[in-house]
Structure 1
Amino acid sequence: MEPTAETLARWAHDYAPSAADLDLAQRSLLDTIAVTLAARQDDLVALSAGLPDAARWAAVGHVLDFDDLHLESTTHISVVCVPATLAVGGDARAYLAGAGMMARLGVALGWSHYAGGWHATCTAGAPAAAVSASVALGLSAERIATAIALSVPAAGGVQRAFGSAGKSLQVGFAADAGVRAARLAAAGATADPTALDAWLRLVGGDPDRIDVTGPAVPGGLAIKIFPCCYALQRPISALREHLPADVVASGITAIEVSTPEGAVQPLIHHRPRTGLQGKFSLEYAIAAALLDPHPGFGSFTDLAVTRPEAQRLLQLVAVTETPGGDGLLSGRIDITLTLSGGARYSVSQRLPPGSPGRPPSDQDLRAKIADCGPDVPALLTGLDWARAATLLADHLPGQRSGLT
């Protein structure tokens, strides 16, 4: 049987993008650059200044947790594959090759891999970044397979990093590892392509799940409307869309939540004290949705999370996790609020806005880009892949990789 790395490398080398694929690539480029520019003032910019381009751009692009997600693989595809592509001068086709690799490898890893505590964006991300960079460098299918194998030692990352700088940094490490592997393959380094199959089995994946048919990114990508973990998009939107406007947060005395356990897998902070922890807290997301007209960047700061009323509300939240669920949008979420006078209000939600089943409108996308900074809409006008790399180099200066 052909090694999985060779199957995926040949697919990536030969794939001819459709018009729909190219549309997805352009939307992903705009979304990723917008959320990266939105983080220009974050502390991580200085922390990551000494890292190579792909690592720095991916880490900063992920720190606000506003980047897209592939639901079937539970991976943040674009924040890995866009920086890896741009770092070596690639274009939409290189991005799509890596994105397709990441989607398929993430599916092969399976929900059990993610539920076991792995950060699939990193585990699937390093080989995917290797593919994007390899295609951008014009490598043969054989050399792409070698790059994939060379990236395997860096294919790691865990969910315990969620709520700290470690989460976005490990995404940066994955992107950079892929670029490094591609450059080594281009220089003639050797590696056994069966390493990918061996690694897949070690971390609970199944190579037989690999399917190279269909569009570049099967299932498409979910776009976030709120700058926090994707598992919070549904509870926030449930309250914003379905709760009567006259319900006042100060009158709430109890909050009951019912959700499939799989849908809250990454929400590990139940009593958050920082903005980063708040991005992975179901309890705080509910508080923010009740207190803020639009839970945006200002809702996920240290100051916002520690507001006395937010802390009071999050301590009222009682969560019942129903067994099962194999994804962040499994089943539905039900939220019931009890007010001081005894009145009760219940809301439910299956699909949040921005999900493939409820795709964002052009107006939604324009509003998101505008939220990322007053200068961002103008900066992104007419954006192409070459100018995107220049934008990131100009706005996120740091140590150049030296490998151009």
Structure 2
Amino acid sequence: MSTAVALLGDFAAKVRAEGLPPELRADAARRVLDVLGNSLAATAEAPAKAVGALVAEWGGAGRSTALGHAAPLPEPSAALLNGTLAHSLDFDDTHLPSVLHPSASVVPAALAVAEARGASGAQLLDAIGVGVEIAVRVGMAGYDPGLGNSVFFERGLHATAICGALGGAAAAAMLSGLAADGVAHALGIAASMGSGLLEANRTGGTVKRVHCGWAAHAAVTAAGLARTGLTGPPTVLEGRFGLLQAFCGDKYHLEPLLDGLGERWELPGIFFKPYPCNHFTHAGIDAARRLRARGLDVTAIERIDLGAPTPVLRTIGEPREDKIRPSSGYHAAFSGPYTVAAALLGGGGLGLFHEDFTDAAAADPARLALAAKVHCAPDARCDEIFPHQFPAVLRVTLTSGEVLEERVDVNRGGPGDPLTADELALKFRLNATRLLTDVEADEVTARTYGLPDAPDLTAFTRALRAPASR
């Protein structure tokens, strides 16, 4: 029988030969636009500057566009920088219930190789579609239905970085012209390279922002090594010392990885984020916005109780002292109390936006005073729904004794409550115009949506380099 990685290689080779259906190419183009907007908005962030300085030190002959840089970089360096940008603001798309952010690794890896290898727009989108699909399916292999959570997550592992390296490697291998066995080898090599720990979500540090960049860098490197003759183990996923056993022990399942492969696609159901913060906070934000729309007077609040799924509280509610007084704007993005307070006081963009997660905003006395009134606790109904959605319930006790409640069971941005085309366009424009002019943002949008028919990526990448050339 074929091994799991061999079947994934066959899947990639078939799509490479036949192409994705038009609706999936269109969805992949939306993923590209979302990643580009999130990335353009992050070019001034400290992690981007740190990675940019490092890749400048590395040097090398450049063939791939790096956002914010006028000159091209070597493919692994461009993937590292662009992947770091894509995940820096925690605004990237999310797959449930694997709790993965697949596009932030796969798109940068695919872009770097596609440009260097002279791919067409359709070839780029086909590779992205396959890479995202493989990433989330590997993530689903590590989802334990009995536990109701990702085993990766339970063990403190960042599945996005681990699985994103594999998905990115498949995309990069396809764009490198590798056949099915070459894609399988790229996956087998990348499985030794993906890594990431989630402790920074709890107690600080900026290393998590580079996880998707390193996954993209590993993906490009793995595909290159496969192209030049390195091989990976045929049982790299299901073997005794394979990736799934190593990371998940005996709690992994191969069925979600392989069942319906190429027939049932996860890609269209991946959630776009309306807010630039940890996805676990979003339902609480929406509940707060609903209460605010009902006319809630924040000055009359005595206490706020935020109910959420039990596993979520380790990220957004603990340690309580850190969550009610986040140490920076970035850490505020992982705080249930802070995000609820910010939403109750009003925010930018589609509800909350980047200005709500600056260091100054995180230190705002009014927000901190309101955040200190928020108490996080498990909620039984939320536990039943999680992780197919990230629900929340908000109960506000007023000084009069009255209690107001809003429950959000379905996350905004997913199939049950999708962002409209206008909302996605607004998200991109608000992101992109932190660096691009309105005219440049419009051109990038048009070039991205035109990728299915683009014979090459020359005009597309030229538009991305425009702001750095000014």
Provide TM-score, normalisation by structure 2: 0.79
Q: 1:209 aligns with which of 227, 242, 256?
A: 256
1:114 to 141, 144, 153: 153
Aligned runs of 1:129-168 on 2, under 5 Å? Answer: 129-162=168-201, 164-168=205-209
**Corresponding residue for 1:247?**
296
Structure 1 residue 202: Cα displacement: 1.5
Deviations 1:328-376 (A, max 9, x none): 4547421111222333211111113211211111111122122114326
Which string of whole-angstrom CA distances, capped at 9 and with x for unpartnered residues, describes residues 91-127 of structure 1? Answer: 1011111111112111112122223221110111111
For residue 187 of structure 1, the aligned residue among 228, 238, 245 is 228
Alignment counterpart, residue 289 of structure 1, candidates 330, 343, 355: 343
Aligned to 1:94: 127
The 10-residue stretch of structure 1 (129-138 or 16-25) with the greater mean CA deviation from structure 2: 16-25
Is 2:416 the partner of 1:364? no
CA displacement, residues 190-218 of structure 1 (integer Å, 9 cap, x when unaligned): 22121222111121133343221434435
Structure 1 residues 217-246: Cα deviation after superposition (integer angstroms, max 9, x where no partner):
356211111111111111111221344443
2:93 corresponds to which letter in structure 1? D
Q: SS in structure 1 opposite 2:142? A: helix
Do the aligned residues in 2 keep the contact of 1:243 with 1:347 (CA within 8 Å)? no
Range with greater deviation from structure 2 (89-98 or 56-65): 89-98
Deviations 1:10-63 (A, max 9, x none): 111112411221111011111111111111222222111133010100101111
2:356 is aligned with 1:302? no
- Equivalent residues of 1:260, 1:321 under 8 A apart: yes
Q: For structure 1, which runs of at least 5 residues remain unmatched after alignment? A: 398-404
How many percent identity over aligned positions?
26
CA distance in 2, matches of 1:171, 1:313: 33
2:59 maps to which residue?
Answer: none
- How far apart are the structure 2 equivalents of 1:139 and 1:303? 49
Matched, 1:4 2:13: no
5+ unaligned residues in a row in structure 2: which ranges? 56-76, 144-149, 452-456
Paired with 2:79 and 2:413, the residues of 1 have a C-alpha distance of 26
2:395 and 2:465 mapped to 1: Cα distance?
47
Aligned amino acid, residue 331 of structure 2:
Q
- Is this contact kept in 1: 2:131–2:171, CA < 8 A? yes
Distance 1:305 1:227, change over 3 A: same
Evaluate the alpha carbon distance shift between residue 359 and residue 308 of structure 1 in structure 2; reply closer, same or farther with a 3 A threshold. Answer: same
Shift, 1:389, TM fit: 4.0
Q: CA deviation at 1:380?
A: 2.0
Is this contact kept in 2: 1:72–1:107, CA < 8 A? yes
Partner of 1:258: 307
Q: State how far apart, in whole Å, the 1-side matches of 2:425 and 2:268 are.
A: 23
Q: Aligned Cα RMSD in Å?
A: 2.1
More displaced stretch, 247-256 vs 123-132: 247-256
| Poorly superposed stretches of 4+, deviation over 6 Å | none
Aligned length: 397
Taking structure 1 as reference, are residues 223 and 176 closer, same or farther at Cα in structure 2, changes over 3 Å only? same
- In 1, the alpha carbon distance for the partners of 2:328 and 2:370 equals 16
Distance 1:332 1:168, change over 3 A: closer
Residues 154 and 313 (structure 1 numbering): CA distance in 2 closer, same or farther, change over 3 Å?
same
- C-alpha separation in 1, matches of 2:446 and 2:337: 40
